[in-house]
Amino acid sequence: MPTKPLDRLMFVQGGLCFFCKQPLPKAEASVEHLYASANGGGNNDENCVACCKAVNALFGSMSLKEKFQVVLNQKGQFKCPNDAGPAKVATQAKAPFKAPAIAKPKDDKFALVVANLKQRGASKPRTLKTLTSTLASLFPKGISEADLAALVQQLQATGKITVLENKVTYAF
């Protein structure tokens, strides 16, 4: 019997929401298309993530750029609308967070990434797409897309990089 897309995504993401990295009960889970299906996005695993129904409803058919902006506006601490409630999400209240929002990949992976980027000097990747593929190439045995995204988020949260409209700038 083939695995359902939501079950497969939940397994790959370790049962956590793609955006806030909090435990995601299957009853609250839904498939979010990063590039909205309403805008022509496909149903493949590269375009889909598991998240709570509240985030999926919030993103609706936003463009990928608009979704990135929502995530980036959280300044590395994505607050799930399930915890904040609809009124607080709209105002983006600055409430204290219960748990770290960014899944921190093993420190050795992060240290490897930082060391590699520093070593590159002026030839660091300048776009988010190139950065992601460069990071993936550092792990010959493979790395999940969720772990890659977490590494990029950790680079942003620690101030090592800034991403603006898919352009990457470095603080080192």
Looking at the predicted structure, is the pLDDT value of residue 101 above 60? Answer: no
Domain range list for the chain: 5-91, 107-170
Q: What is the pLDDT of residue 67?
A: 86
Say yes or no to pLDDT of 99 above 90. no
Given a cut of 50, whether residue 102 has pLDDT beyond it is no
Reported as a single tens digit per residue, the pLDDT across 41-75 is: 899 989 999 998 888 888 888 888 888 888 888 77
Right CATH number for 107-170 from 3.30.70, 1.10.1740, 1.10.3470, 1.10.10? 1.10.10
Domain 5-91, CATH class in plain words: mainly alpha
Q: What is the pTM of this model?
A: 0.46
Of residues 92 and 153, more confidence is placed in: 153
Q: What one-character-per-residue DSSP string does the chain give?
A: -PPPHHHHHHHHTTTB-TTT--B--GGGEEEEESS-GGGT---STTTEEEEEHHHHHHHTT--HHHHHHHHHHTTT-PPPHHHHHHHHHHHT--PPPSS-SS----HHHHHHHHHHHHHTGGG---BHHHHHHHHHHT-TT---HHHHHHHHHHHHHTTSEEEETTEEEE--
What is the pLDDT at residue 168?
94
| The pLDDT value given to residue 32 | 93
User: Residue 104: is its pLDDT beyond 60?
Assistant: no
